[in-house]
Structure 1
Amino acid sequence: MSNKPLLNYIPALTGVRALAAYLVFISHYEYVFDGNFPHAVQRFLQEFHMGVTIFFVLSGFLIAYRYYNNFHLTKDWFKQYLKNRVARIYPMYFLLTIGAFVYYYFTHDTRITKDYPSPIGLLLMHVTFVRGFFQNLWDTGIAQGWSLTVEECFYFSAPFAFLLAKRYGKLFLQPVAITAIGMLLVLVFRNVNWYGFFGSFTFMMIYTFLGRCFEFFVGIQLALILLKKGTVRNNKLKYTYIGFLLMMVCVFIMSKLAIPKGWMAGLHNPWGIITNNYLLAVCIALFFYGLVTENTIFKKVLAKPFVELLGKSSYIFYLIHLGYIYNYLRDGINWLNDRIFDYYDKVGVDWHSPLEYDWLNVVYLFILLNAISILLFKTIEEPLNHYIRQSDFLIKNPKRNPQNDSQLIKS
């Protein structure tokens, strides 16, 4: 391999986004395989929440690779940086969150508010991302959106982390200090009845940036290695395959851990936290290193144009795969299944319906959710992303080459 600088855009790492989102999807719907597979298999699939860790490590890598060597912590630079982050994350999250609370207005589905007394107040907590600091509220609204609070905390703090690393070195002292602050907050607030604000060590370590920061810093460290050394390799180890195998080992370990009372997965076991937040993050970084520096089947598949499109739309897929949109689609399939059986009764036949099997319905829903995600990406997310980046939001936009804009939109 030559020691040329990395490209600004790596298609395989976009494809990885789809892989991560689909792993999370499997972890949420593994129950449909109950009775069809051994319990050990079901528990293994239950720990595929590892997709969230993939997202966090990838975010750390991409932000550091793009900005570490060319950031200037001035007011205008920071505004432009935040503008790019808002354009990438906020529009679809805002629209889908509004949709969740409109859904609550008509249905009074308590899964949206968890009986929080002020739906409007909770909506404000969602659109400002602060609900992710409260143990009693993290899974309200778009439940999986808690991870965006973690992402936004990283986005906001990353330039300061880069500044400290450049000035003082010792990058990995930072996550130690950040996690220590999180533990101190738990000690202070865990006995305060404020909707579980930093309510427990388990919550802090799994659902907040202060507990998950190491994953981002692993990604940052990988970016620094590649920025310094490029893609030159002095060995022929297949890091792609080694990293992926070790990722599955971490999942296996978590699947064998006892699930603490009141929680949902081996992840919530103290050893699960260590495995997921630390060991798994390093294994994912090895996997990414291989994707960037090697030509493997993984890289070829993940870089294919259709997989790349799935990766670009995977953010929307992640936001809609659980919650009110999924519920409407599932209810529609159930309604159609009832109509099919009504027809069978009418004509006097005893046939099976293609919609009577829960596991097969999940496959149908998976396909439908991807189709909706691609449609929303092409018609709403991508145009809004372009519009915000080219607008005067936060900072006046200088005239840019349209070709540069098309490259920026991929970051």
Structure 2
Amino acid sequence: MATKAQYFSVLTGVRAIAAYMVFLSHDNPFDSEGPRSLIQNGLFSFFAVLSIGVSVFFVLSGFLITIRYERNLQLSWQWARRYLQNRVARIYPMYFLVTIFTLIGTILNAGYDPSRLWKFYNLKDKIWVVFLNLTFLRGFFDRYRFTMAGQGWSLTVEECFYLSAPLLLLGIRRQWWRILIYPLALLGIGLLLTMVGTQFHDQLFGFFGSIKFMLDWTFFGRCLEFFAGMALALYMRKSTVKAGSGLIITCLGIIWMAVCAGLMAYLERDTQVGAMNMSNYYSFLVRNAILPIGIVLLFWGLLFEQTWLKRLLETKIFDLLGKSSYSFYLIHVGVLDFFLNDFVTKNILGKFIIINFVAIALYKFVEHPMHRILASKK
């Protein structure tokens, strides 16, 4: 299957930072019910767009899948089955458990339903929602993307990439310039699906319900983030660059990302936060096409520049936090967050620490053991 690829411990640490960015976008420290000053409002908007941590995950997925599988890709059922087995073993067990846990919590207490819609569903709707969630299909439907464990919408995007990656890599391996064409082709497919979805919006439950939905929540609109990571991996294959001192590229990547976040915050300053949607097409351009360049620069700097940030992210504590970041991402909003707010603390730092401890426990005693069992099955 995958060759024994180099383990990039610094990028494992980056996963933790990306998850914490998403956490801060949801538990915004500058959120308040009363009026905010101009500075507070600007900081609130900036923290709100730290959801770009998801973009970091997408670029990282493109990079790691390409590094691990590009050279040993095979057109055989045995290879495909093993590849899919590894992907399912990595993603599905924890997602399944969190989804079921959310379902049980929602049934026991309607106030723990993240979408606040469960109590309005009839039995048929409830079965449909559970099916869409357990099969990763809910991310295609505007009406259901935030049902159950709401943050799981991004796994629909990830699974679309995992399914298409072997074919994309095979085509790129034959002719490298296709990496420039494939994003346009995928965007075209997304636009075609949107044409169908908008014509039958109510009948198809918001399936590809609008162009903005497609650009915001689907693989077809966000594929450039994955391709940016793929391009970095392919370039590294041919590069002879060696690690050295300095921090120019690392700083450039961080500044690039910060400027993109600031620009998005400005463009979306009038957007209703509760809607959880971007409204400005320029925002999509910044996040989907320009931001990934900064993320690639950051990855390059962390991989090839010897900096204090690299050394920090390579420590054992960040390695553990990075490995448990998937569990952290899945549980940081939803039933656990509601429970902490009701019975433990509403303090953001307190919740952050508790959720991290729970995520580490889940990684060590559930996620990692289940992955090893499922990935080793023949």
| TM-score normalized with structure 1 length | 0.84
- Greater shift after overlay, 103-112 or 276-285? 103-112
Is this contact kept in 1: 2:214–2:220, CA < 8 A? Answer: yes
SS of the residue corresponding to residue 190 of structure 1 reads helix
Alpha-carbon distance in 2 for matches of 1:315, 1:235: 31
Alpha-carbon distance in 2 for matches of 1:369, 1:238: 34
Matching of residues 69-80 of structure 1 within 5 Å: 69-80=71-82
Are residues 116 and 8 of structure 1, via their aligned partners in 2, closer, same or farther at CA, if it must alter by over 3 Å?
A: farther
SS of the residue corresponding to residue 199 of structure 2 reads coil
Structure 2 counterpart of 1:288, from 273, 283, 299: 299
Within the alignment, does 1:142 sit opposite 2:149 as a pair? yes
Alpha-carbon distance in 2 for matches of 1:275, 1:87: 33
Alpha-carbon distance in 2 for matches of 1:266, 1:390: 40
- TM-superposed CA distance for 1:7, in Å, is 5.9
For 2:198, the equivalent position in structure 1 comes to 190
Alpha-carbon distance in 2 for matches of 1:266, 1:122: 21
Within the alignment, does 1:373 sit opposite 2:359 as a pair? yes
Is this contact kept in 1: 2:85–2:374, CA < 8 A? Answer: yes
Alpha-carbon distance in 2 for matches of 1:234, 1:326: 43
Is this contact kept in 2: 1:113–1:119, CA < 8 A? Answer: no
SS of the residue corresponding to residue 258 of structure 2 reads helix
For 2:222, the equivalent position in structure 1 comes to 212
For 2:180, the equivalent position in structure 1 comes to 172
- TM-superposed CA distance for 1:263, in Å, is 6.8
For 1:57, the equivalent position in structure 2 comes to 59
Matching of residues 5-404 of structure 1 within 5 Å: 8-30=6-28, 32-34=30-32, 35=36, 38-109=40-111, 111-112=114-115, 114=117, 115-117=120-122, 118-170=125-177, 171-192=179-200, 193=202, 194-232=204-242, 238-258=248-268, 259-260=270-271, 264=275, 267-333=278-344, 361-391=347-377, 396=378
Given residue 161 of structure 1, which amino acid in structure 2 is its aligned partner? Answer: L
Given residue 166 of structure 1, which amino acid in structure 2 is its aligned partner? Answer: R
- TM-superposed CA distance for 1:267, in Å, is 4.2
Given residue 326 of structure 1, which amino acid in structure 2 is its aligned partner? Answer: D
Are residues 39 and 241 of structure 1, via their aligned partners in 2, closer, same or farther at CA, if it must alter by over 3 Å?
A: same
Is this contact kept in 1: 2:30–2:40, CA < 8 A? Answer: no
Alpha-carbon distance in 1 for matches of 2:10, 2:72: 24
- TM-superposed CA distance for 1:232, in Å, is 3.3
SS of the residue corresponding to residue 96 of structure 2 reads helix
Is this contact kept in 1: 2:28–2:44, CA < 8 A? Answer: yes
Alpha-carbon distance in 2 for matches of 1:7, 1:80: 17
Alpha-carbon distance in 2 for matches of 1:287, 1:12: 11
Is this contact kept in 2: 1:83–1:388, CA < 8 A? Answer: yes
Q: What percentage of aligned pairs have identical amino acids? A: 40
- TM-superposed CA distance for 1:261, in Å, is 5.9
Alpha-carbon distance in 2 for matches of 1:49, 1:371: 22
SS of the residue corresponding to residue 145 of structure 1 reads helix
Is this contact kept in 2: 1:113–1:122, CA < 8 A? Answer: no
Is this contact kept in 1: 2:212–2:279, CA < 8 A? Answer: yes
Is this contact kept in 2: 1:243–1:287, CA < 8 A? Answer: yes
Please report the RMSD computed on the Cα atoms of aligned residues, expressed in angstroms: 2.1
- TM-superposed CA distance for 1:33, in Å, is 4.5
Are residues 261 and 326 of structure 1, via their aligned partners in 2, closer, same or farther at CA, if it must alter by over 3 Å?
A: closer
SS of the residue corresponding to residue 354 of structure 2 reads helix
1:34-61 Cα offsets, whole Å, 9 max, x none, are 4586211111111101100000000000
Is this contact kept in 2: 1:15–1:302, CA < 8 A? Answer: yes
Alpha-carbon distance in 2 for matches of 1:390, 1:268: 45
Given residue 371 of structure 2, which amino acid in structure 1 is its aligned partner? Answer: N
Are residues 31 and 363 of structure 1, via their aligned partners in 2, closer, same or farther at CA, if it must alter by over 3 Å?
A: closer
Is this contact kept in 1: 2:25–2:48, CA < 8 A? Answer: yes
For 1:354, the equivalent position in structure 2 comes to none
- TM-superposed CA distance for 1:387, in Å, is 0.6
SS of the residue corresponding to residue 256 of structure 1 reads helix
Are residues 137 and 113 of structure 1, via their aligned partners in 2, closer, same or farther at CA, if it must alter by over 3 Å?
A: farther
Alpha-carbon distance in 2 for matches of 1:300, 1:374: 21
Alpha-carbon distance in 1 for matches of 2:278, 2:100: 30
Alpha-carbon distance in 1 for matches of 2:241, 2:320: 25
Given residue 219 of structure 1, which amino acid in structure 2 is its aligned partner? Answer: G
- Greater shift after overlay, 140-149 or 223-232? 223-232
Are residues 48 and 264 of structure 1, via their aligned partners in 2, closer, same or farther at CA, if it must alter by over 3 Å?
A: farther
Alpha-carbon distance in 1 for matches of 2:244, 2:110: 60
Structure 1: segments with no counterpart, 5+ residues: 1-5, 335-357, 397-411
Alpha-carbon distance in 2 for matches of 1:282, 1:116: 43
